[in-house]
Amino acid sequence: MSLFEKARKFTIADEAKEQGIYPYFHQLTTKQDVVVNMEGREVMMFGSNNYLGLTSDPRVIKASVDATNKYGTGVSGSRFLNGTLDMHVLLEKELASFLDKENCTLFSTGFQTNLGIISAIVGRHDLVFSDKENHASIYDAIKLSYGKMVRYNHNDMEDLERQLKAADPKLGKLIVTDGVFSMGGDIANLPEIVRLAKKYGARVMVDDAHGFGTIGPNGKGTAHYFGLEDDVDIIMGTFSKSLASVGGYVVASKEVINFIRHTSRPYIFSAAIPPANTASALEALRVLKEEPDRPKRLLDNASYMRKRLKEEGVKIMESETPIIPIYTYTAIRTMMICIKLFDLGVYVNPVVPPATPKGECLIRVSLMATHTPEIIDKAVKIIASVVNNFPEIEGDE
């Protein structure tokens, strides 16, 4: 078979476009904010990871512009060689201090951060115990590491203990979990994960992409939410969500960070984060430290929207985070609802297979600290009018 035969046979996206049910790649013509312009229409944004609302903050924008004027548009090399800026080092120091860890290093993207950490730390004979609903980057990272993946049922601590108990006690073991799960918005059972790790001689890594800036004191994330920052060995996060930029970081002990810096192929062989992105993440972190009420406003907004959705009879998945999943069940119906909402001025994200099992499709609503009660009320009315009255689609799964 020809190498590109698979591409020729991939027609599902074109078929969805022809049927008018393709909900992806809407073009933004304004900044990420609570209200944006997409394809010539004004839309209330309830599908962004801009949790703290800092992508349009004048201080963050100015920092980005000033850094470009000072350092230029790129670094033209990896951190390992010519690509380390003094600003990279400063951001690492401030992140490590903020998260109460010894050391930190930066990666060019969040996805690459997981690839770089796990592929370096996990060896050929090591085991990685991974929650089944972990992010795709964790799955790919384990493949890149040559270690063995052992999946456990989502947030199922009995299943995790069964898998740990069955493992060879002589092998290296790493338990990896999302802190806040990106689709369901639920929080990992970190206290039990830590207990089991100590019992069976494993290390713990938390992907806090959706936890940083959203939960825990001062928005420090999942480990601090449970008071377990000293018990979690590795914490990674991204700049593309709460910190209004792009890139990623890992905090851990000095020896672990030093090992990653000198052995991680995704780290050594990738160009460093550009000056503008570094500066915007650094300024966003400083705003978070200066305005610790932002995470509280975010969670208050999420709590208010949950309350309003329930009052309107919309069935949601319970969570304590800025992510509110709304049940829509089947794939075509989910995409059609998202398109209808977009037409009525509300942007949300469809979650369909393979991101969910068949018949368990969702709309993912996410809040920002900068949403107002008026915008939330307006969006809830539109969402309820569409979701509560949308018919079943024959032949949909």
Residues designated catalytic: 182, 210, 241
Contacts of residue 65, Cβ cutoff 8 Å, sequence gap at least 6 = 276
CA–CA distance, 124 with 135 (Å, rounded to integer): 22
Q: Is the dihedral of CA 84, 89, 91, 95 positive or negative?
A: positive
Residue 47 in tokens: 């599908």
CA–CA distance, 6 with 375 (Å, rounded to integer): 44
Side-chain half-sphere of 327: how many Cα atoms within 13 Å? 12
Contacts of residue 232, Cβ cutoff 8 Å, sequence gap at least 6 = 190, 194, 204, 205, 206, 223
| 364, 325 Cβ separation under 8 angstroms | yes
List Cα–Cα distances, 60 to 126, 147, 181, 244, 313, in angstroms: 41, 40, 27, 8, 39
